[in-house]
Amino acid sequence: MATKKTFFAPNIKLLRERKQCTQEMAANELKMSRSTINSYENGSVKNPTIEALLAFSNYYKMPVDTLIRIDLDKLHESSLKEIEIGHEAYIRGTKLRVLVTTVDSNNNENIEFVPYKASAGYTAGYNDPEYISSLPTFQLPFLNRERKYRTFQIKGDSMLPIPDKAYITAEYVQNWNDVKDGNAYIIVTADDGIVFKVAYNQIRTKKKLLLRSLNDKYHPYEVNVADVKEIWKFINYINNELPEPIPENSGNLNEVVNQLKNQVNKMNTLLKK
């Protein structure tokens, strides 16, 4: 069976040279001999140990799979710089981003509730254990216990027919590359706070997300992924307001049910656009 080509040797040499670092300097930082560094860089070591891979990964702040699988020399300079400063790891959730969460007395993940009035505080305290522990919590037994959920109260009419003050329960997205075009998400940013929008993934091409409202009177806009703090995928919503009463002369029940079905179909169509 043919062995898959790896780019570990040329990648670590390229990264060292970009740091304007000699083999001797890298050896001192990595606690290796210069000859060992040279052996890795010229490819004479065909199967680096896990310890060595992790050491180079930490030294160059580069995910191991990127060091092995991607020919960094073929990347555009801007893309390489994005990887070097850690944006790739941040987007994928493998480094830097840590979700603060709470559990109940049985060690089950809570669903923390973020009311609209607390949204400004959440933007500042989303990664503060003390703040997160101060939020109200509850459980929904029908949700997957292996995943993390949070509920946010939204405000405004930009996502009609989902109404103002509805409660959006959403699932935490660890790897932002998994954001799927046309799905609805809670997006947390420093400037805009908590927004509920339909997202289109432009991360790989533009390092941005395109956000669209269901209400056509609101124009789509882009956010830089570097400004995003958290992403949560829409699961369901709860509205605490009763629908309008059915007039006495509104016709039979089937007609009313059909109207409701049409409203739901309209919402689903808008989400899929």
What's the pLDDT score for residue 1? Answer: 38
Q: Mean pLDDT over residues 46-73, rounded?
A: 86
Q: How far apart are CA 215 and CA 118, in angstroms?
A: 24
Q: Mean pLDDT over residues 11-26, rounded?
A: 94
111-238 belongs to CATH 2.10.109.10? yes
Cβ–Cβ < 8 Å for 242, 230: no
Q: Mean pLDDT over residues 115-129, rounded?
A: 90
pLDDT tens profile 142-194: 999 889 999 999 999 999 999 999 999 999 998 999 999 999 999 999 889 99
| Structural domain boundaries in the chain | 8-85, 111-238
Burial class (CB in 10 A: 0-12, 13-18, 19+), 260: exposed
Residue 4 pLDDT more than 80?
Answer: no
Whole-model pTM above 0.85? no
Range with the lowest mean pLDDT among 42-51, 63-72, 161-170? 63-72
Residue 96 pLDDT more than 90?
Answer: no
* Cα dist from 240 to 166, 195, 225, 252, whole Å: 7, 20, 33, 26
Residue 3 pLDDT more than 60?
Answer: no
DSSP code for 192 = T
Fold of 8-85: 434 Repressor (Amino-terminal Domain) (1.10.260)
Residue 85 pLDDT more than 70?
Answer: no
Q: How far apart are CA 190 and CA 225, in angstroms?
A: 11
Residue 41 pLDDT more than 60?
Answer: yes
What's the pLDDT score for residue 78? Answer: 63
Other beta carbons within 10 Å of 43: 12
Range with the lowest mean pLDDT among 83-87, 162-166, 168-172, 238-242? 83-87
Residue 38 pLDDT more than 90?
Answer: yes
Peptide bond into 141 cis (omega under 30): no
What's the pLDDT score for residue 9? Answer: 95
Q: Mean pLDDT over residues 21-33, rounded?
A: 94
